[in-house]
Chains A and B, each alone.
Chain A
């Protein structure tokens, strides 16, 4: 990465981190939700220990990881990615960046590391709270191993990172913040699980982004592994790379060709 590319990404990161509602909402979806879960569980355990176990320990770590990495973390990642993809156009400053003479593809490319930096900073903060609660509130329960913790962190960063980058590309392609938010969240939360549950689609369901991400999930959801569809590791990697590549290409193409 050249010095100018670094500065451009730094500038994009500045735009994102100073967007107060985005940072607060993202922190609520990660830190806030986990904090609420811990608060409720601690109160329940304190009021009736025989009925409700401690808030920490391995099992609660996995439940919290599912909340962070599979439900609310992806929402935050999508919001951050979409803001990075549409921020310049919606503020009307894209044309001012274009008249610097800098290539439009470079302007687009600068958004990706900036969005990832904020996304991962938020995820790491959420994950740190998860680990902290896991040990502080473990009481007599067993705690996760270092490998399990690192595995959980890796999965959180992978899943949210992929979604964040796709959101940057998709939002840059559509240039509509509201449209991109509705479409991506509806796809991930409603359409994808529905399509994955239709067994007649067979191995075609391997192409679903949510299934490829869930393939790497170290946690189970409702008694089953994260992914509904089984697939080889290489296929899962290929699917993730393909989704990222297609949406980055679409975003770059639109940024390069649109009227500024």
Chain B
């Protein structure tokens, strides 16, 4: 049994389509038992990554492991416990939900056949399972796609833009289902998405990809905070001019400037330096009325890293 502390591991994964490089030496590590977001703008290479992992298209270079199995060498063994939705879930529209699951169960084996009813129940489609899929809404097709994944009793689910076409209620349900799969059932869920909010609310960790490269990866909190290196404060003072003069001359401050909310201060050190800054301001005769850390959002971080690809890539501890 291979070591599967990492559900997905790629080293130098590269995929070229003629002169165009869709994946450019991707190194990715997805820990088992987590919800992992693969975040990037449209055309960043997310779907190509998934297609390469699943053997739907052949990688040009690099190595991959799924659940510890090297692929493509042991692809069949790896995929027995992998469920995937690639792009939008597609079905034979002239067949019912149950019949569509039977088609895939036939290829997976007798255990998968026995899971059809429970998979349909798990996604709340039992009552509509006898209807032709062409009558299903987009949300129902997404859920049927997940049911199809569950036929494998997957250790790893790979979902490509899973909330596309879902209404807000459907997105919320989907998010809860993913969290339950991770927290209660111990599965790993790999979600590719261009929706920052979705990844931030659903995932434990993420990688940001752009133009075929993984720009940064780590826990959601670390990513949002810039890998633990970027800490900001908003400071409300009675004398902003004096305060700025004091702050800009302080070695603990990388940058300080006025903003609508007060003085915005980027620290050189961690958040524990806030107390020292407060003391410095008070010592300079500045009255401090408010001092609060800025909570970075993944969206800010995403926009930062995808806007400066020409700069050297940074390492973010996971």
Contacts and interface: CB of A to CB of B under 8 A. Distances in A.
Given A11-B106, A259-B56, A99 B86 contact: yes
Which secondary structure characterizes the binding site on chain A?
A: helix
Interface stretch (A1-9, A60-68, A72-80): A1-9
A99 B56 contact: yes
Contact of A15 (B92, B148, B152): B92
A95 interface: yes
Given A11-B102, A11-B107, A102-B108, A96 B94 contact: no
A87 B91 CA distance: 11
Nearest to B148: A96
Interface in B73-120: 75-80, 82-84, 86, 89-95, 99-100, 102-104, 106-110, 113
A8 B108 CA distance: 9
Interface of B: 51, 54-57, 75-80, 82-84, 86, 89-95, 99-100, 102-104, 106-110, 113, 148, 152
A15 B99 CA distance: 9
Contacts of B113: 7
Given A101-B77, A103-B76, A93 B110 contact: no
Given A11-B102, A259-B56, A260-B56, A100 B107 contact: yes
Contacts of B75: 101
A8 B100 CA distance: 12
Contact of A87 (B55, B92, B100): B92
Contacts of B93: 91
Contacts of B92: 15, 87, 91, 93
A18 B94 contact: yes
A11 B86 contact: no
A97 interface: yes
B204 to A, nearest CB: 24
A91 B79 contact: no
A102 B57 contact: no
B79 A99 contact: yes
Given A92-B90, A93-B100, A260-B51, 7 more contacts: A7-B106, A11-B102, A19-B94, A96-B84, A99-B55, A101-B82, A107-B107
Contact of B54 (A7, A11, A99, A103): A99
B99 A18 contact: yes
B95 A14 contact: yes
A10 interface: yes
Contacts of A19: 94
15 contacts: A7-B106, A11-B102, A11-B107, A14-B95, A15-B92, A20-B94, A95-B86, A96-B84, A98-B55, A99-B56, A100-B108, A101-B78, A101-B80, A102-B108, A106-B107
